[in-house]
Amino acid sequence: MISVPASAGHSAVFLDRDGVLIDDVGYPHREDQLALVPGAAEAVRRLNTLGYLVVIVTNQSGVARGMFSHGQMEAFNDLIVRRLAAKGARIGAVYACPYHAEAVDPAWRHPDHPDRKPNPGMILRAVADHGIDPKRAFMIGDRPSDMEAARRAGIPGFLFDGGNLDDFVRDLLAI
């Protein structure tokens, strides 16, 4: 169970994308590859109702690897946000890191980009951009790199290993 203390700043939940909000089918970037995990919309709606800003933080090395363009990545992220919104679930922001050390396009090549999880850059930028209080924030991810990014950002991280995301969130918040 998580307890979020009252303090200044917004409360927030950082969610990984592939494997947490949507099925991880290996570099998804087309509409036909978009399938929300069970309970995704309900979980986001629950978090919204409790006053959390919900922020997606996602590594997207498919851009760096030449599998799809930056524009396709942004369009796919927008589609996810719209699909969730149609179910009454609001995503406050999306941060995506297209950089990778082995990028085929030099524009996206970086040996250790500060935004690429396990680095905390996307979380830290969201904290600054949205006035988030780290003491009132946590991360849900499906990989050790998500947990490490949360740790480095100074927020709790919780490992989601599949199933129904709303059940996971409900149990985590013990409500």
Read off the pLDDT of residues 36-81 as tens digits, 9 standing for 90 and up: 999 999 999 999 999 999 999 999 999 999 999 999 999 999 999 9
Contact 157, 147 (CB under 8 A): yes
Establish whether 78 is an annotated binding residue.
no
pLDDT of 127: 98
Q: Report strand pairing: 132-141 vs 53-59.
A: unpaired
Contact 35, 93 (CB under 8 A): no
Say how many residues make up the chain.
Answer: 175
Q: CB-based burial of residue 7 (10 Å sphere; 0-12 exposed, 13-18 middle, 19+ buried)?
A: exposed
Establish whether 161 is an annotated binding residue.
no
**What residue has token string 């087309």?**
30
Please tell me the pTM assigned to this model. Answer: 0.94
Contact 76, 117 (CB under 8 A): no
Read off the pLDDT of residues 81-108 as tens digits, 9 standing for 90 and up: 999 999 999 999 999 999 999 999 999 9
Boundaries of every domain in the chain: 10-173
pLDDT of 1: 43
pLDDT of 150: 98
Establish whether 97 is an annotated binding residue.
yes
Mean pLDDT of 132-151: 98
The closest of 127, 119, 111 to 9, measured between CA atoms, is 127
pLDDT of 9: 82
| Architecture of the 10-173 domain | 3-Layer(aba) Sandwich (3.40)
**Is the Cα dihedral 82, 146, 95, 29 positive or negative?**
negative
pLDDT of 8: 62
Inter-CA distances, 71 with 19, 23, 38, 77, 78, Å: 22, 21, 27, 10, 10
Look over the chain and give the mean of its residue pLDDT values, rounded to a whole number.
95
Distance between CA atoms of residues 99 and 140, nearest Å: 22
Residue positions annotated with a catalytic role: 16, 18
pLDDT of 4: 44
Contact 45, 82 (CB under 8 A): no
